Amino acid sequence: MRIVVAGGSGFVGRALVAALAARGDSVLLLTRGGAGSGADRRVRTLAWDGKSTGDWVRELDGADAAVNLCGENVAAGRWTPTRKIQLIKSRVDSTRALVAAISQAARRPKALINASAVGYYGTSPEGECVEGAPQGRDFLAALCGQWEREALAAEPLGVRVVTARLGVVLGDGGGALAKMSLPFKLFAGGPLGSGRQPVPWIHRDDAVGALLFALERDALTGPVNVVAPQALDNRAFSAALGRALGRPSWLPALAFALKAALGEMSSMVLGGQRAAPKKLQAAGFSFKYPDADAALAALFPR
């Protein structure tokens, strides 16, 4: 296949581009890093500002699919009014530009796989969030809603759109796990707040596998929860992380301290969603790491 990937230099994107190249696909990576070619001859890069169309538009003509993973890290800083605008624009502007480019192609891609997040459901500690669940009311829910609406604008163009609602992606070399594991390594790890809030997690290998699966399954459309099937609350997840690291997991981080340190962003770790991958399972996707103990043991081999 010939795949155009936007946002492919991030934590999930790097692994996805490597997997596409490894299976023999031709990949065009849109990046702010400039044009060129990497060590793998199957991967080319073109410069893109993340918000405008340009010469790269012609690469959409005849491509089999496009994958959009653009978006600034929501956990990189406090959610000030300025920061919120940046988080939204980094997702909305890039998606809008990509859909505009698709509209200009004479032979449009058959599919657009666009990232989103389980934050779409808002803070939902009770009940199960399947793909048909309503949108939440907090900032992350609003962000995800705007993001997905921009992607769905490609549907009237005859493009199959999948909005991949990612959970907490666990992998080495970055991502949330590096921050989550540090207190445990210092013998100061434990549950956050009450510990009862759900943690919708997925191993990065399975996240990439789900994106590849979505590229290949023509019947898969609309929102898709990209999370592991095992539902854990924060206390159980913290215990599993402690076991993987050979560290205790008894020292809780108090809710009021997290709110003071993180501000509104604390809602991400003190809330959560019990998201379930119903559409992936119904379509026949097989998880490599359906169990948190196995996933974390693979990431922290002892």
Q: For CA atoms 290, 293, 297, 300, give the dihedral sign.
A: positive
Q: Are 46 and 31 in contact (CB under 8 A)?
A: yes
Residues 228-253 have pLDDT tens digits of 999 899 999 999 999 999 999 988 88
The model's pTM is 0.94
Fold of 2-168+202-227+274-287: Rossmann fold (3.40.50)
pLDDT at 39 over 60: no
Q: What is the mean pLDDT of residues 6-23?
A: 94
Residues 50-93 have pLDDT tens digits of 999 988 899 999 999 999 999 999 988 889 999 999 999 999 99
Q: Which residues contact 39 (CB under 8 A, 6 or more apart)?
A: none
